[in-house]
Amino acid sequence: MGGQTAAISGTERAWGGLGGHSGPPVHVAIIGYGTAGQAIASLLAQDDHRIEVFERAPALGPAGAGVLLQPTGLWVLWQMGLLREAFRYGAPVRRLFGDTLAGRPVMDMRYSALDPRLSGLGMQRGALFQLLRMAWPEADKVRCGHDIVSIDEDGRRLVDDTGISYGPYDLLVIANGAASKLRDVMGRHRLDRPYPWGALWCLLPQADWPHAADLRQRYKAARKMMGLLPVGSRPDNPVKQLSFFWSLPIASLDRWREQGLVAWQEEAAALWPEATALLAHVTHAQMLMPATYRDAALKRWHRAPIVLVGDAAHAMSPQLGQGVNMALMDAVALRDALRRQPCIEIALAEYDRERRSHAHIYQFWSRWLTPLFQSERDIVAWLRDVSFIPMGRFPGSRGQMLRVLTGTQKGWFGRLRLPADFVEALGEELSNTAGAAL
């Protein structure tokens, strides 16, 4: 596969491949049972650490419609022995395509341009949640309905909203999402603010949608954006679904509700006539759930024995679709740091350096790309429309865009190497899925 494959298997160092934990087991408290918390609970339990998980919600369950797992996130699932199960329920995504109402392509990126064995995988959050839950046999012991509101000064005890204290612990993992208030234990932040734009989302039956291997988006300048992502099925529901999203300013949510469902459906159908039949499945406004986002840039992600992971550490706009993948990578990096370093303080510092060196470029680009897709800046959107496709035709620029898409860009010029045996396994799953569809 020549030079293109070298971009995957011939650069920098691979991850993983380590043995078990090098020191004695530690007592770990995990705050939050989203993707990051689930993966960390499973991975650290496999190394015989003692795990306790606190979850604010009264019952365990996913939040959100669908996610796009990139090769980096799929690599983590492969390490956890979950790749085949993920493909059983997920939908391979080979192309990201976006255009305007006038039919002008704005974005057209194919994973095969980087390596024919690569793809994304659309999954329902419910399916991913169930896979990760099954990977930790003690998930039924999660302390649901416990909202942890503070951590004592030595970082070893937790206090919930009823005043009950828990601990002491050897390691505290804060994984309670983008809106986490516990991140304040790290001191002053460089940035921590909500985005003015969010989205409405829901699941729709895939039916005969013709773009079953594409993430498709439709734009009207940067003021309107809607998208459809194939996300497959769930263990408890074999019907294949699409994850639908509609962009809007958070401040206009009440106005959207007042507008009424029929008026909105007419507006959406005018923007994307091909999706009209799908939109008919939205029968009441409550089907469309609001989502908000934050931009958080911290000076540090750890203060031993406390560490931040997932969106609590690096909340960002979803424009690059990396949130769940970053959370999974955080989990593996924390596990590996604890394996290499028996001293928790040294291990957390190593984790911090490793993950920040990768995540910061995605935070930067998501911050600067968001106004191109969600804003009222029509001139900026016009520049996007006329420049994105030509930029992608330049060899150097195209390669970097594809590495950003797949999650393998590290810094401005570096890249992360996906292990060759994982890339082969991913290619095999893609072939098996294509064969089963025939």
pLDDT band at 7 (very low <50, low <70, confident <90, very high): very low
Entry pTM: 0.93
Residue whose structure tokens are 């293109």: 4
For the chain, give the mean pLDDT. Answer: 91
pLDDT for 19:
54
Percent of the residues in the chain that have a pLDDT greater than 90, as a whole number: 82
Q: Exposure of 27 by Cβ count < 10 A (0-12 exposed, 13-18 middle, 19+ buried)?
A: middle
- What the block records as the tokens of 368 is 């600067």
> Does residue 347 surpass a pLDDT of 80?
yes
- Burial class from Cβ neighbours inside 10 Å (0-12, 13-18, 19+) for residue 57 reads middle
Assign residue 9 the CATH number of its domain: 3.50.50.60
Quote the pLDDT of residue 391: 81
Tell me the pLDDT tens digit for each residue of 367-423.
989 999 999 999 999 999 998 888 877 777 778 888 998 999 998 888 899 999 999
Pick the range with the lowest mean pLDDT from 127-131, 268-272, 275-279, 318-322.
318-322
Taking the CB of residue 341, how many other CB atoms lie within 10 A of it?
A: 18
| Structural domain that includes position 42 | 2-437
Per-residue pLDDT at 191 exceeds 60: yes
Neighbours of 352 (CB within 10 A): 21
Q: How confident is the model at residue 86 (pLDDT cuts 50, 70, 90)?
A: very high
Q: How many domains does the chain have?
A: 1
Which has the minimum average pLDDT: 15-19, 110-114, 219-223, 272-276?
Answer: 15-19
The two three-digit tokens of residue 293, written as one number: 């986002």
190 band by pLDDT with thresholds 50, 70 and 90: confident
Indicate if the pLDDT at residue 296 is higher than 60.
Answer: yes
pLDDT (average), residues 110-129: 96
Cα distance between residue 372 and residue 23, in whole Å: 48
- Alpha-carbon distance 183 to 175, whole Å? 10
Indicate if the pLDDT at residue 13 is higher than 90: no
Sequence-separated (6 or more) residues with CB below 8 Å from residue 280: 265
CB 104 within 8 A of CB 385: yes
Tokens of 67: 């996610």
- Distance CA(60)–CA(64), nearest Å, equals 13
b or e along 297-320 (b: 16 or more beta carbons within 10 Å of the residue's beta carbon)?
A: bbeebbbebbbbbbbbbbbbbbbb
Can you tell me the distance from the alpha carbon of 68 to that of 349, in angstroms, rounded to the nearest whole number? 29
DSSP 403-438: HHHHT-EETTTEEPPPPHHHHHHHHHHHHHHHHHH-
Provide the pLDDT for residue 22: 59
* Angle of the 35-46 helix axis to the 323-340 helix axis, nearest 10: 30
Q: Is it the case that residue 242 has pLDDT exceeding 90?
A: yes
pLDDT band at 269 (very low <50, low <70, confident <90, very high): very high
- State the amino acid at position 267 in one-letter form: E
Q: Where are the alpha helices (DSSP H) in 80-176?
A: 83-89, 125-134
pLDDT digits (tens, 9 = 90+) for 29-68: 999 999 999 999 999 999 999 999 999 999 998 888 899 9
